């Protein structure tokens, strides 16, 4: 069994005691920008960047203070206030897991804030954009820093709101408005799972604090149910099967949003949830953990297949995001041995995917917001910096030896082959497909013939956009090696998530690793033949059955429509019919009946005094007769 998870120590003072500032800074930024509105138009974006950077600074200082403690004291709880008396104490948990996330969120978040200054410079609502970005950063930090499920849930909903607002940022586009709504609705399904899971935790264990739940070694039906419900929540937020459909549509939002929310941070919240709850509900070898791994493996293949057929560069990257988070979920389903690689891949993916997305944004910026890769081609000479950074991100994601993705993805694959051979070899296959679709993307965008529209004048983006790209590509270059070699991340995370029995050693020449490299090479070569050497048609060809299958997102939308939307519509129609005919019929019928009968009854009032006199007489006679009859008189 894994060694125990470290106890949580109460903490006051120091930077960690002030770690609530991490959340407060961007929250204040969002508040100022939203409340003071147009008055902040001129300097609003600078405030947004400053708040994000301030948050990053606090995170860095807190990180160094945390490292100063001994390994077993590295879980520090900061009590803030009593949230629900007798039930939930609101506090922050600063431990290796949460601080890793905080650094990723604020670090990559700040770079994307800076990039957005350039990317959104022509948008008249730039100030509002930065307000939402700050709101997102605050909510995301609350999600990962809270020391209980209630705080996590508030952050969870907060990032959902920010995601909704930012996907629909260009709400004048009906497609963006619809995509935002779709993301919100699909996320509700996942949130339902998380919420019911929390109810179950509370009724079973009587606490929702991470520090008070006890790690389990074997699962019972209750923890299995909780695990599966939390997995449903994670599937919604992380776009895993079967709740994956919203992520591809979410690309309607501005590109920095896709990079920050729908690639680097928010969609990884599901992985965080699983890893954070791992010791409590997903013990090694349990059914819940197996479900996580299966979902991950299925999604990594589905996302990769979708990515192969998309001509929209952002949708291709979105499919790739689904796929990479599938890898993380697969790792998170393998117990403590996989957690470190899952989190490691999450961090490196945060860098290289943000790099790729921002690179795609830079290309779009220079191409009049064209997203169709069939209209690109041959851009590497005109956009040298974008090309170089994109190419590094590309090498990292396909797992080119010694780059970031190589170490973290290979770690997941090897651990998976070791623990769940079938899922592990599926992940190897997925890596091969990744090699194909990412190469296809690079060849279609930067190589080959020019296929631009007539009014396109491709140019390199300003330095406010290219500098964040360069920093991110540095992360994509070296971060993986730093985290994985000599198990740095694993040992750092061990107090928070546990430690496997034997430490994994990184082999450069293991069978799964070599097989992965071979498949990636085959995929890339195939892409070169199809899209590099051969001419790419600038109009989408019909494609085979398989291509259509992938283009239509594996018929995910059609499935949702026929399984849920149509029956739901029938149900509402039935309800409307019942309401119109049934309920309204009774109410209206009653009113009409009373109205009609009283209309006839009032004819008795003739207006002739003698008629009334007669009726009085008859009444009196009848009364007298009745009294006589019963003999009371």
Partner 1 sequence: MTTHYLILSGLLFAIGAMGVLIRRNAIVVFMCVELMLNACNLAFVTFSRQVGNLEGQIIAFFVMVVAAAEVVVGLAIIVTIFRTRRSASVDDANLLKY
- Count residues near partner 1 (CB under 8 A): 12
Minimum distance, C-beta of residue 623 to partner 1, in the bound complex (Å):
15
Q: Which is nearer to partner 1, 505 or 604 (CB)?
A: 604
Per rule CB under 8 A, is residue 595 in the interface with partner 1? no
Min CB(600)–partner 1 separation in Å? 10
Taken in order 277, 280, 285, 286, is the CA torsion positive or negative? negative
Nearest Cα residue to 398 out of 488, 307, 483: 307
DSSP designation for 38? G
Task: Using the rule CB under 8 A, give the single segment among 365-373, 432-440, 503-511, 599-607 that binds partner 1.
Answer: 599-607
C-alpha 187/C-alpha 189 separation (Å) is 5
Stretches 33-41, 248-256, 385-393, 606-614: which one binds partner 1 (CB under 8 A)?
606-614
Comparison of 505 and 601: residue with beta carbon closer to partner 1: 601
Neighbours of 217 (CB within 10 A): 11
CB of 617 to partner 1, least distance (A): 6
**Alpha-carbon span 120 to 470, nearest angstrom:** 19
Which residues 396-425 are close enough to bind partner 1 by CB under 8 A? none
Selection from 418, 561, 408, 567 nearest residue 483 by Cα: 408
48 and 138 Cβ atoms separated by less than 8 Å: no
Does 67 interact with partner 1 (rule: CB under 8 A)? no
Would you say 563 or 613 has its CB closer to partner 1?
A: 613
610 binds partner 1 (CB under 8 A): yes
For partner 1, the binding residue among 81, 172, 545, 608 (CB under 8 A) is 608
Give me 176's structure tokens: 């963006």
Give the residue, chosen from 35, 613, 626, 628, that forms a contact with partner 1 under the rule CB under 8 A.
613
| Contact flag: residue 609 with partner 1 (CB under 8 A) | yes
Among 605, 629, 631, 633, binds partner 1 (CB under 8 A): 605
Give 597's contacts (C-beta < 8 A, 6+ positions apart): none
Closest separation in Å from C-beta 597 to partner 1 = 14
User: Which residue lies nearer to partner 1 by CB, 545 or 608?
Assistant: 608
Which residue in this structure is represented by tokens 């396109």?
456
Backbone angles phi, psi at 499, to 5 degrees: -135, 140
Q: Residue 110 to residues 46, 165, 351, 365, 373: CA-CA distances in angstroms?
A: 11, 19, 12, 20, 28
Nearer to partner 1, 214 or 606 (CB): 606
Beta carbon nearer to partner 1, 590 or 621: 621
Within 8 A by CB and 6+ apart from 233, the residues are: 156, 190, 191, 193, 194, 195, 197, 270, 273
The sheet with strand 76-84 has its strands ordered as 9-10, 76-84, 88-94
| 604 vs 629 by CB, closer to partner 1 | 604
Instruction: Report the distance separating Cα 481 and Cα 141, nearest Å.
Output: 26
If one asks whether residue 606 binds partner 1 (CB under 8 A), the answer comes out as yes
Region binding partner 1 by CB under 8 A among candidate stretches 202-210, 390-398, 529-537, 612-620: 612-620
The only residue of 529, 563, 565, 614 in contact with partner 1, by rule CB under 8 A: 614
- 617 is a site residue for partner 1 (CB under 8 A): yes
Smallest gap from Cβ 566 to partner 1, in A, equals 55
Residue 381, both tokens: 């000479």
Task: Compare residues 575 and 613 and give the one whose CB is closer to partner 1.
Answer: 613
Of 572 and 624, which CB lies nearer to partner 1 in the complex structure? Answer: 624
Instruction: Assign 76 to helix, strand or coil.
Output: strand
Which residues of the chain form contacts with partner 1 (CB under 8 A)?
A: 602-610, 613-614, 617
């Amino acid at each position: 069994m894994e060694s125990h998870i470290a106890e949580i120590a109460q903490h006051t003072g120091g930077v960690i005691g002030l770690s609530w500032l991490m959340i407060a800074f961007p929250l204040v930024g969002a508040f100022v920008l939203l409340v003071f509105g147009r008055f902040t138009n001129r300097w609003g974006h600078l405030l947004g960047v400053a708040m994000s950077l301030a948050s990053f600074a606090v995170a860095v200082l807190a990180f160094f203070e945390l490292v100063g403690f001994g390994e077993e004291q590295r879980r520090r709880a900061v009590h803030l206030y009593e949230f629900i008396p007798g039930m939930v104490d609101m506090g922050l948990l600063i431990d290796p897991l949460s601080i890793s996330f905080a650094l990723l969120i604020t670090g990559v978040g700040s770079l994307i804030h800076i990039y957005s200054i350039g990317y959104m410079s022509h948008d008249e609502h730039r100030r509002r954009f930065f307000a939402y970005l700050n709101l997102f950063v605050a909510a995301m930090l609350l999600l990962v820093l809270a020391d209980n499920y209630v705080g996590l849930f508030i952050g969870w909903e907060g990032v959902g709101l920010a995601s909704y607002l930012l996907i629909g940022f260009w709400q004048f586009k009906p497609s963006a408005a619809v995509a935002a709504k779709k993301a919100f609705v699909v996320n509700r399904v996942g949130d339902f799972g998380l919420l019911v899971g929390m109810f179950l935790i509370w009724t079973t264990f009587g606490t929702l604090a991470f520090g008070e739940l006890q790690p389990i070694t074997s699962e019972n039906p209750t923890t299995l149910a909780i695990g599966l419900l939390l997995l449903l929540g994670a599937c919604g937020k992380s776009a895993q099967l079967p709740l994956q459909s919203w992520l591809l549509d979410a690309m309607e939002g501005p590109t920095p949003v896709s990079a920050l929310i729908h690639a680097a941070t928010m969609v990884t919240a599901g992985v965080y949830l699983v890893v954070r709850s791992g010791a409590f509900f997903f013990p090694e070898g349990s059914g819940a953990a197996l479900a996580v791994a299966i979902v991950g493996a299925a999604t990594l293949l589905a996302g990769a297949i979708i990515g192969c057929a998309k001509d929209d560069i952002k949708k291709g990257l979105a499919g790739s995001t689904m796929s990479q988070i599938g890898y993380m979920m697969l790792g998170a389903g393998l117990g403590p041995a996989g957690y470190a690689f899952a989190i490691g891949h999450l961090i490196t993916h945060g860098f290289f995917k943000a790099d790729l997305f921002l690179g795609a944004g830079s290309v779009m910026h220079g191409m009049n917001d064209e997203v169709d890769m069939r209209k690109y081609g041959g851009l590497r000479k005109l956009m040298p910096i974008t090309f170089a950074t994109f190419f590094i991100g590309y090498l990292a994601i396909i797992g080119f030896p010694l780059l970031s993705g190589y170490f973290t993805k290979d770690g997941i694959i090897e651990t998976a082959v070791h623990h769940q051979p079938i899922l592990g070899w599926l992940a190897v296959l997925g890596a091969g497909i990744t090699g194909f679709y990412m190469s296809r993307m690079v060849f279609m965008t930067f190589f080959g013939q020019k296929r631009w529209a007539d009014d396109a004048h491709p140019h390199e983006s300003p330095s406010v956009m290219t500098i964040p790209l360069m920093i991110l590509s540095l992360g994509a270059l070296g971060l993986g090696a730093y985290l994985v070699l000599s198990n740095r991340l694993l040992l750092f995370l061990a107090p928070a998530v546990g430690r496997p029995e034997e430490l994994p050693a990184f082999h450069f020449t293991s069978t799964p690793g070599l097989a992965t490299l071979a498949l990636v090479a085959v995929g890339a070569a195939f892409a070169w033949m199809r899209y590099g050497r051969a001419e790419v048609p600038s109009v989408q060809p019909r494609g085979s059955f398989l291509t259509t299958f992938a283009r239509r997102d594996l018929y995910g939308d059609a499935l949702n429509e026929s399984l849920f939307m149509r029956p739901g519509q029938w149900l509402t129609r039935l309800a409307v019919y019942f309401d119109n005919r049934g309920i309204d019929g009774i109410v209206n019928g009653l009113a009409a009946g009373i109205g009609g009968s009283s209309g006839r009854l009032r004819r008795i009032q003739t207006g002739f005094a003698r008629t009334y006199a007669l009726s009085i007489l008859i009444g009196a006679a009848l009364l007298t007769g009745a009294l006589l009859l019963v003999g009371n008189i």
